[in-house]
Structure 1
Amino acid sequence: MGLNLDEQKAVDRFRKEVAEPSMTQLVILDFWAEWCGPCKALAPVLEKVAAEYADKGVVLAKINVDEEQFIASQFQVRSIPTVYAIFQGQPVADLTNARSESQLKQTLDQLLEKLPVQPGGAAPKADIAPLVAMGEEALAANDGERAASIFMQILEMEPDNAEVLSGLIRGFVVAGRLEEAEQVLGSLDPAVAADPHLERARTALELAKDKPEDSELAALRTAAEERPGDMDAQLAFANAAFAAGERDEAADTLLRMVAADRAWNEGAARAKLLQIFEAIGLEDPWVAATRRKLSTVLFG
Structure 2
Amino acid sequence: MTQQPFSRPGAIDLSGLGKPAPQAPQPAPRGAAPTQPGAPTGGGSSYTVLVDEQSFQGLLEQSMAAPVLLAFYSRTRMPESGQLADDLATVVEEHEGRYLLGLVDIDAVPQIAQAMQIPSIPLVVAVVDGRPMPLLQDALPIAELRTALTQVGQQLTAQGVTGRHQPRSVAAPAAEGDEEAVDPRYAPAQDALAEGDIDRAVAEYQKLVDANPADVEAAGGLAIAKVMQRTQGVDLAQARSAAADNPDDVDAQTLVADLDMLGGHVEDAFTRLVNLVARTADPERSKARDHLLGLFAAVGNDDPRVLAGRRNLASALF
TM-score (norm 1): 0.44
Which structure has more RCO (C-alpha within 8 Å, separation ≥ 6)? 2
Higher helix fraction (1 or 2) = 1
TM-score (norm 2): 0.42
